[in-house]
Amino acid sequence: MRYGIDEGMIGFGKSQITLFPELLEELIEILSQDAQALDCLDALTGLRQIMVQGTSAHHQLHRYGRPLFEDDSRDKALRKVVAWLVDETTGSCV
């Protein structure tokens, strides 16, 4: 998935490139009955938030690009991304 959710993917049901939001809705429809039985429907439908808020990769690229725009070095920008990843990871485990 080179372009992540920003580009289309092959929809095998249609044998054509389909935008990711359409594929996600199709997957939610297909899986919702099973997700409900497994008590994880909220997690499944919560995937829609990723479409709105962006993926971790989007956030990392943003945090990398902003310091570079502010004339930080590449190394410093990468360190800021790593610091953010650590904060996100440890913050969610508390």
Domain-wise residue ranges, the chain? 1-54, 55-94
Q: Say if residue 25's pLDDT is above 90.
A: yes
Confidence of residue 75 (pLDDT cuts 50, 70, 90): confident
Structure tokens at 64: 């990398």
CA dihedral 59, 62, 63, 66 (to 10 degrees): -170
CA distances from 80 to 54, 63, 64 (A): 19, 7, 7
What is the distance between the alpha carbons of residues 57 and 24, in angstroms, rounded to a whole number?
Answer: 18
Query: Where do we find the tokens 């990843």?
Result: 85
CA-CA distance, 60 to 77, in Å (whole number)? 10
Confidence (pLDDT) at 28: 95
- Evaluate if pTM is beyond 0.75: no
pLDDT band, residue 88 (cuts 50/70/90) = confident
The pair of structure tokens assigned to 3 is 């372009």
Q: Which of 45, 51, 42, 49 is nearest to 19 (CA)?
A: 51
